[in-house]
Amino acid sequence: MNEPMADVRDMYMVHTMMHREFELLPRLVRDVASGDTARSAVVARHAERLCHVLHLHHEGEDVILWPLLLDRGGAQALAIVPTMEEQHHGIEAALELVNMLLPAWKSTTRNGEALAGAFQVLFDRLLEHMSTEENEILPLAEKVVTAAEWAQLGEHSLSKSSKKDLPLVLGMTMYEGDPEVVRAVLSHAPLLARLVMPLVAPRLYASHAKRVHGTATPARVGRH
């Protein structure tokens, strides 16, 4: 192929955001006082947004990335993609349990320990998956997936996301993101977004983090 190949650095950035935010969810749930439905609503809305982002992220891999790798990645892809698909099934099952428990807890704060436990299972499965993906999938994708094809992953999520949520999700991702990678991601956006988002998105996340985590600067994962 003579086309530019995938720059997978944005995936590491997304993984770092997910690692940080999903790791904090069990404690956030446990820290809500019984009957404090104002606080449970804040935490639940945060969790709902994260779960939606995760679902779309994996859906994009299922419909775009895995077929490309299986078509071009030879024995290496055949050896690892089924494992990734199996891990996705496990994560989706954990998401289903979270989504079953979350609405009642949001409105009543009941069964908080069950919900916190479900979030812990989800995080554990997600962490295992992201580690495998970074070790096995991303090095392969750099070799066999074009930049244009890689961009389809982001476009898939964008097409199914609420436009009003995008600046906040970008701010979440930028919080520990490499500025060079952030610039590369925004280089595909319209000019106004390229100019405005580096200023607006971090402020939105700082305000959101203060409301959800009690600090504008939650503990960083700092892996990448």
pLDDT tens for 135-193 read 999 999 999 999 999 999 999 998 999 889 999 999 999 999 999 999 999 998 888 88
16 and 218 Cβ atoms separated by less than 8 Å: no
DSSP codes joined into one string, 148-183:
HHHHHHHHHHHHTS-GGGHHHHHHHHHTT--HHHHH
Nearest 5°: the CA angle 37, 40, 43 is: 155
- Could you tell me which residues are beta bridge partners of residue 146? 5
| Residue 88 within a domain | yes
Output DSSP code: residue 111: T
Kindly report the average pLDDT of the chain as a whole number. Answer: 96
List the domain range (segments joined by +) for residue 17. 9-161
Record the tokens describing residue 91, joined without a space.
């994560």
The torsion of the CA quartet 151, 154, 155, 156, rounded to 10 degrees, works out to 120
> What pTM does this model have?
0.95
Give the chain's domain count. 1
28 found inside a domain: yes
In a domain, 216, yes or no: no
The answer as to whether 155 is a domain residue is yes
Q: By three-state DSSP, how is residue 146 classified?
A: strand
Residue 80 lies in a domain: yes
How high is the pLDDT of residue 189?
A: 87
Q: Considering the domain boundaries, does residue 84 fall inside one?
A: yes
- The CATH number covering residue 148 comes to 1.20.120
Residue 1: pLDDT band by 50, 70, 90 thresholds? very low
Q: Is residue 224 part of a domain?
A: no
